[in-house]
Amino acid sequence: MATRITQRFEALQQQNRAALVTFVMAGDPDPEGTLQVLKALADNGADVIELGMPFTDPMADGPAIQKATLRALEGGQTQRKTLDVVRRFRAENNTTPIVLMGYYNPIYRYGVDAFLADARQAGVDGLIVVDLPPEHDNELCLPARQADIDFIRLATPTTDAKRLPKVLENTSGFLYYVSVAGVTGARAPTPADVEAAVARIKTHTDLPVAVGFGIRTAEQARAIARFSDAVVVGSALVECVEKAATADEAAQQVAKLTSELAEGVRSARDVAAQ
């Protein structure tokens, strides 16, 4: 069965443009505010939404997402509340794919089967779980695929040609290429390096390849969207929420940046063609 994610990427391929994938943290600035932020994303050009599941020990994240995690947890965010906000978003929007992103322990503690059933029912389309490499596919990846939830895996600059097939083996929906070795929100990638890496990956898979880590501006998004299937922006959006005094303001700032990024992504191939 084609998931919302696959449908979305197929549609964008027809339009010959890359997708804008946006990341925000569930429970940030607060549970109600998250719903406003999600709507702001979807209404201003986000093609896929990644929603962070807060975890006390975000080993792969830089300061911006670490702080968002703390804000969410201090506000009492839980896995159940995260699924609730997806459910409420889904009641009004049945097309924008939602991918939950985070670390394994909160899912493991919830119970894998129970989590997958509840996530599916809430309208979750995919999962990105940072600390589950393909060596542990039995834990969550294969059960998720069984439950018709895409399992999106990360490939990185350290993933060589020998390892890439293993990374791709059970990946579905899209592949997320981490453009720099490092944590989220750190240094910016060099487009030429990334382009070569994406080309290399594309010889191994037909899955859409998204590029993320260190992409903050419309200009950067435009450069990456020329040759990738999707551009992921996270920390810059999370910082909009951090700087806002109220949930309304957070949603406004997120809307503004999202429409700029969307404009960048959508114009990338026009510019390239000229």
Using CB under 8 A as the binding rule, whether residue 60 contacts other proteins is answered as: yes
DSSP assignment of 19-53 equals EEEEEEETTSS-HHHHHHHHHHHHHTT-SEEEEE-
β-sheet bridge partners, residue 210: 176, 230
* Among the listed residues 19, 141, 167, 240, the single contact to other proteins using CB under 8 A: 167
Catalytic residue among 61, 118, 137, 150: 61
100 membership: H or E segment, kind and range: strand 98-102
Given the complex with other proteins, which of 202 and 226 has the nearer CB atom? 202
Rounded Cα gap, residues 8 and 15, in angstroms: 11
**Binding to other proteins in span 181-200, by CB under 8 A:** 181-183, 186
* Catalytic residue list contains 61: yes
Rounded Cα gap, residues 74 and 157, in angstroms: 34
* Among the listed residues 16, 91, 135, 273, the single contact to other proteins using CB under 8 A: 135
Using CB under 8 A as the binding rule, whether residue 206 contacts other proteins is answered as: no
* Catalytic residue list contains 219: no
Q: Which of 221, 51, 220, 253 is nearest to 152 (CA)?
A: 51
Q: How far is the CB of 56 from other proteins (least distance, A)?
A: 4
Given the complex with other proteins, which of 84 and 249 has the nearer CB atom? 84
Using CB under 8 A as the binding rule, whether residue 59 contacts other proteins is answered as: yes
Q: Which of 164, 162, 186 is nearest to 177 (CA)?
A: 164
In eight-state DSSP terms, residue 209 is E
Catalytic residue among 30, 47, 50, 125: 50
3-state class of 154 per DSSP? strand
Q: How far is the CB of 214 from other proteins (least distance, A)?
A: 12
Look up residue 239 and give its two tokens.
């910082």
So which residues are the catalytic ones?
50, 61
Q: Which positions touch other proteins (CB under 8 A)?
A: 55-60, 62-63, 66, 70, 73, 78-80, 103-110, 130-133, 135-136, 153-160, 163, 167, 178, 181-183, 186
